[in-house]
Amino acid sequence: MSAAGKVIDNREATRFEILVDGDVAGFAKYRLKDNEIAILHTEVKGEFEGKGLAGELVRETLQAARDAGLVVVPQCPFTSGYIRRHPEWLDIVRDDYRERLSSPAG
């Protein structure tokens, strides 16, 4: 299911990056506080758009959060939309955001 990207946590830049052939194709900027990770912004460079990389990036970011026992605060619209389409991630979303993402009006 991989779109041929490799996701890494660039802690110095506080962002997860998706690499394609060693180049940064996109990133998910985050902020850590206590046991929470706020996902602030997700971006994929124009030449890499349409290849499923943003979804792969968000999925791997959420998996890393789950593995670390972090609560996710999805402030990025793309991440929120991804979780809305993939409700299997709702269990790690902070309660107030979970309610918004699981309601039909969203």
Q: 11-61 pLDDT, tens per residue?
A: 999 999 999 999 999 999 999 999 999 999 999 999 999 999 999 999 999
Query: What is the CATH topology of the domain spanning 6-102?
Result: Aminopeptidase (3.40.630)
State pLDDT tens for residues 74-91: 999 999 999 999 999 999
User: d(Cα 33, Cα 50) in Å, to the nearest integer?
Assistant: 32
Q: Is 19 buried (19+), middle (13-18) or exposed (0-12) by CB count in 10 A?
A: middle
pLDDT of amino acid 96: 93
Residue 26 CB partners (closer than 8 Å, separation 6+): 17, 18, 42, 43, 44, 45, 48, 53, 54, 57
pTM (2 d.p.): 0.92
